[in-house]
Amino acid sequence: MEQVVRNSIGFIAFLLLALLVCWAGCQSAPPAEKPPSPTENLKPLVIQDGYQLLAGPGVVSIRKNNLPIKTIPLEEADVKLAYRLSAKPSGQAPLMDYSIDSAVVLSGSHLHYVVELKPEIRLLLKYPRSLHDEGQSIRIEKEANRLYLYADGWLLKSYKVSTGKMPWYTPEGDFRIVNKMPFPKGRDPESPMGTRWMGLAVPYSKDERGNKWDGGDDPRSPLGQKFGIHGTNDESTIGTPASGGCIRMYNRDVNELYDLVDIGTPVQIVP
């Protein structure tokens, strides 16, 4: 009988010790942290047409009467209001290709975001920022085969183009338009240069193709006679890397661009 009592007391002591250890472990374990919501820590940006826009890390939240309506993800953690658009017809700067009822343009460190509010709430488009805040400028992205035309840092037009079929064919860097010529090879519809030419002054150090005869410096490069923005007789190549190094465009597009830009316009070409 005495042995049974001792066994019972030992079991109870063991059970109490186990409960104590378990309780201590629970007390020392930190509570699980709730993951932060992307809509936390929002900062007000603007109120337009009854909509409130607030920005958080990588998002913009659109609200009405303080009630969330839509959250749009962004590619950058921090944005600010650039300007507002209201009742803007197509053909009018900026964003000449768009008719806009109501929208705001937000600026990040690398991109601009156009958030449309009417007739529907959506991210209308995003586009890269220009390096130039004054005057005309052009940016060409080789991987996207895209040309952007800016005025005072804001997008005017965007065009599909064709860049070099090999990565090193089209030079990369900052250049300028140094000459313009209509019908560079005459009015022949089969002309590989198409209907317009805008020559880029490319220094020897940026011309990786060199002289086709001996591989040395090509005297045409810095004169704007080797690399340029021009039309084409094969518009099926537009949107693909297919050129010998120049920037090909649809003839209708190069005609328009030719009339919009001046000699001296800076041109940035990036991978």
pLDDT of residue 187: 81
Q: Are 128 and 111 in contact (CB under 8 A)?
A: yes
Residue 50 has pLDDT above 80, yes or no: yes
Confidence tier at 161 by pLDDT (50, 70, 90): very high
Is 26 an annotated catalytic residue?
no
Question: Which one, of 179, 140, 162, 86, lies nearest residue 267 by Cα?
Answer: 140
Question: Which CATH number does 136-270 carry?
Answer: 2.40.440.10
pLDDT of residue 188: 83
Residue 101 has pLDDT above 70, yes or no: yes
Confidence tier at 37 by pLDDT (50, 70, 90): low
In the chain, what percentage of residues exceed pLDDT 90? 76
Residue 21 has pLDDT above 60, yes or no: no
Confidence tier at 27 by pLDDT (50, 70, 90): low
Transcribe the chain into DSSP letters.
Answer: -HHHHHHHHHHHHHHHHHHHHHHHHHHHSPPPPPPPPTTTT-EEEEEETTEEEEEETTEEEEEETTEEEEEEE-SSS--EEEEEEEEEPTTSSSSTT--EEEEEEEE-SSEEEEEEEESS-EEEEEEEPPS-SSSEEEEEETTTTEEEEEETTEEEEEEEEE-BSSTTTS--EEEEEEEEEESBTBS-TT-TTTTEEEEE---GGG-SS--TTTSS--TTGGGTSSEEEE--S-GGGTTSS-BSSSEEE-HHHHHHHHHH--TT-EEEEE-
Residue 6 has pLDDT above 60, yes or no: no
Is 246 an annotated catalytic residue?
yes
Confidence tier at 245 by pLDDT (50, 70, 90): very high
In the chain, what percentage of residues exceed pLDDT 70? 85
pLDDT of residue 182: 94
Q: What is the mean pLDDT of residues 72-80?
A: 94
Residue 166 has pLDDT above 90, yes or no: yes
More confident residue, 214 or 101: 101
Catalytic choice (22, 26, 112, 230)? 230
Q: What is the mean pLDDT of residues 214-239?
A: 94
pLDDT of residue 66: 84
Catalytic choice (26, 110, 112, 246)? 246
Look at 32-36, 112-116, 146-150 and tell me which has the smallest mean pLDDT: 32-36
Q: What is the mean pLDDT of residues 234-257?
A: 97
pLDDT of residue 17: 46
Confidence tier at 153 by pLDDT (50, 70, 90): very high
Residue 34 has pLDDT above 60, yes or no: no
